[in-house]
Amino acid sequence: MKIGFDLDGILLPDWSQEEPLKEYLKARVTFFEPLFKIDKKNVFIITGRPEIDYNDTKNWFEKYFKNATLLHNDRSIPEEFKAEMINKWNIDIYFESDLDQVEYLKKNTKAKIIHFETFIKEKIKELL
């Protein structure tokens, strides 16, 4: 099974572009390091970050997700890029933080698209 994740809003808190990306990544990555205790070769991280942030994102990614695949957007419409990558890589399940993008991806891919915040809230309710 192949699993995909949006980067900002899921693996990292949403990033305000007013904050330098290097500082943002440095301050927050240790919280997320233990998130993956699964076979990382079937994990895909798809991000809609601007191309100017590619090197910083790639360096952070390689430090914490060595065996996963980073798919970095080089276009202005992230949801189109994400749909294309989900279809190209035959991703089975994709977690997205943006509700509008969830709806777009549901219409344009065969994957099970999950809104991350809703998923977490439902799972917490199940535990209570």
Q: Is 108 exposed, middle or buried (0-12, 13-18, 19+ CB in 10 A)?
A: middle
- Quote the CA–CA distance of 22 and 19 in Å, as a whole number: 9
Comparison of pLDDT for 18 and 90, the residue scoring more? 90
Query: Which residues lie below 8 Å from residue 5, measured CB to CB, with a gap of 6+?
Result: 11, 43, 44, 45, 46, 94, 95
Report whether pLDDT(37) > 50: no
Instruction: Name the CA dihedral angle for 44, 97, 114, 125, rounded to a multiple of 10 degrees.
Output: 120
Say which CATH topology domain 3-127 has. Rossmann fold (3.40.50)
Query: Which residues lie below 8 Å from residue 75, measured CB to CB, with a gap of 6+?
Result: 81
Q: Is 5 exposed, middle or buried (0-12, 13-18, 19+ CB in 10 A)?
A: buried
> Domain extents for the chain?
3-127
pTM of the model: 0.79
The least confident of 66-70, 86-90, 117-121, 122-126 is 66-70
